[in-house]
Chain A
Amino acid sequence: MSSPDAPTVIAPARRLTIARAIAEAIGQEMERDATVLVMGEDIAKLGGVFGTTTGLLDKFGPERVRDTPISETAFIGAATGLAAAGMRPIVELMFVDFFGVCMDAIYNLAAKQCYFSGGQVTCPMVLMTSVGGGYGDAGQHSQTLYATFGHLPGLKVVIPSNAHDAKGLMLAAIRDPNPVVFMYHKALQGMGWLGTVQRSITDVPDADYLVPLDKAKVVREGKDLTLVGLGLSVHQALDAAERLSGEGVSAEVIDLVSIAPLDRQAVRASVRKTGRLLAIDDDYLSYGVGAEILASVCEAGIALRSAPQRIAFPDIPVPFTPVMEHFVLPNADKIVAAVRHMMEPSAND
C-alpha cells in the first residue's frame, strides 16, 4: 500500500451478497419502524437457512424476530392478520414450493384485502421466499413458480439479480401498503453450498434507498436483439451477451426486476430498437413469464426481424439427478444457440 508506484487508494466500496443485503434492509427498517417484525422457520436463531435474517435476533430480540413451528398455514395466516391490524410483518416461506398449504391466506386474504375493504384496510406484508434449483434438491424444493404468483391480482412480485437491488427492493417492499412477494434465487444468495454467481455480489450503500417495485432495468445495451431475464437468468443472459459480442452480435439485456407489475414498456422500447426478442426464465414454459413477455411485444404490433423466442423450464417436475436437471435448466449455452439461430437470415422463413 505504501509502495511508491501504488496510486492513492480511494475509499473502497462495501460489498454484500444478496443474503446480507436482505438482512441489512430488514434490520434498518426494523430500527426505523417499530411495527416491522419477522417470522418464519429457522429465521431467528439460525438467521434463515438462506441467510436472509442473519444477526436480527441479537439486535431485536425474540419478540420481533420469531422462529415459528413448521406450519406455513399458521404463521403466514397470522402475518396476514397482523398486517390488516397495522403491523408490517415480513414472513419467510422457506421454499416457494411450500405455498400449497398457505395460499389461501396469500391470494384470497392478503391480495384482496385492500380491494374488498374499498381501500380502507391495506395489508402491508412481505412474503419472502427462495426460488430455483440447480443443486440437486428435486421437484419439491427447486421450483420458481414466478407465473403462479404473477398471475394473481393484488400481489406485487419482485426478484433481485444483485445485492444492490435486493436491499432497495426489500426496503420498498416493506414500506408498500400492500402485499409484496419478494423472491430470491438460491443460486444468487452467496451461500456456498448452492453455488454463487460472483456478479450478484455488488457494492451496497450503507444508507437507506429504494429500488422501485415496478421498473425493469437495461443492464447491458445492444442493438441486434433483446434478451429478457429475471433473477438468475439475467446473469445467464449477460454471460451469453458477452460471448455473442465476440461473434459480432450486439445483445441488449433487460433485468425485469418485477414480475407483477410487469414493466411492458421497458421491454417494448428495447424490442422497438433491436427488432428481435428472446425471453429466458427458469419457471415452467407454458403460461409463463416468457409467454407474457412475447405477448406484450406482439400485442403492441412491433415490427420484428425474426420470430420471438423463449427459453424456460419444460413442463415437467424438476428432476433430482444433476445430469437430468442441468439438461433441462436454461443456461448461457442454450441462449447463445437460440440467438445464433435467430440471427440467421432464414430465421423468419
Chain B
Amino acid sequence: MTDVTIPTGLWNEGDEAAISAWLYSNGDSVAENAVLAEIMVEKSSFELLSPAAGRLTILVAAEEAVRPGQLAARID
C-alpha cells in the first residue's frame, strides 16, 4: 500500500487549493507516475502523480479543499 499525498512546497502556504478533477475512478488500475488528479490553486493547475502502479482508492472527493502533505488517495 502506498500513500498519495498532496505535494508540498509548490504553492504559497495559505493559498486555497482544491482537487479540480480526478482523472481516474475509484478502483481503476493506474501506472506509476500517471497524473491521477489536478489540483487548482488560484487558477493555476498542479498535477497529482501516482507514486506507484496499482489500484486507486480515492480519499478526497473532487472539488474539496486540500492542504500540502494531506493524504489524498492510496495505491494498493
Interchain CB contact under 8 A, B45 and A201: no
Interface size class of chain B, counting residues whose CB lies under 8 Å from the partner chain: 20 to 34
- Interface of chain A: mostly helix, strand, loop or mixed: loop
Interface size class of chain A, counting residues whose CB lies under 8 Å from the partner chain: 20 to 34
Interchain CB contact under 8 A, B43 and A201: no
Interchain CB contact under 8 A, A1 and B63: no
Interchain CB contact under 8 A, B62 and A196: yes
Interface residue? A231 (CB, 8 A): no
Interchain CB contact under 8 A, A12 and B21: no
- Interface of chain B: mostly helix, strand, loop or mixed: strand
Interface string of B28-50 (1 = CB under 8 A from A): 11110011001010011100000
- Most chain B CB neighbours (cut-off 10 Å) among A16, A49, A193: A193
Q: Residue of A at shortest CB range from B19?
A: A192
Please name all residues of chain A whose beta carbon is closer than 8 Å to the beta carbon of B31 when the two chains form the complex: 11-12, 14
Interface string of B1-37 (1 = CB under 8 A from A): 0000000000000000011110111001111001100
Q: How far is the CB of A101 from chain B (nearest CB, A)?
A: 23
Given contacts A49-B43, A54-B45, contact A1 B55 (CB under 8 A): yes
Q: How far is the CB of A189 from chain B (nearest CB, A)?
A: 9
A16 to B54, CA, bound (A): 19
Please name all residues of chain A whose beta carbon is closer than 8 Å to the beta carbon of B55 when the two chains form the complex: 1, 6, 9
A12 to B52, CA, bound (A): 12
Q: Residue of B at shortest CB range from A17?
A: B21
Q: Which single member of B21, B29, B43 contacts A9 (CB below 8 Å)?
A: B29
Interface residue? A27 (CB, 8 A): no
Q: How far is the CB of A236 from chain B (nearest CB, A)?
A: 18
Known: A1-B54, A17-B38, A51-B45. 20 other contacts (CB 8 A): A1-B76, A6-B55, A9-B29, A10-B29, A12-B28, A14-B31, A15-B24, A16-B23, A19-B45, A190-B20, A190-B38, A192-B18, A192-B19, A192-B20, A192-B38, A192-B40, A192-B62, A193-B43, A196-B21, A196-B62
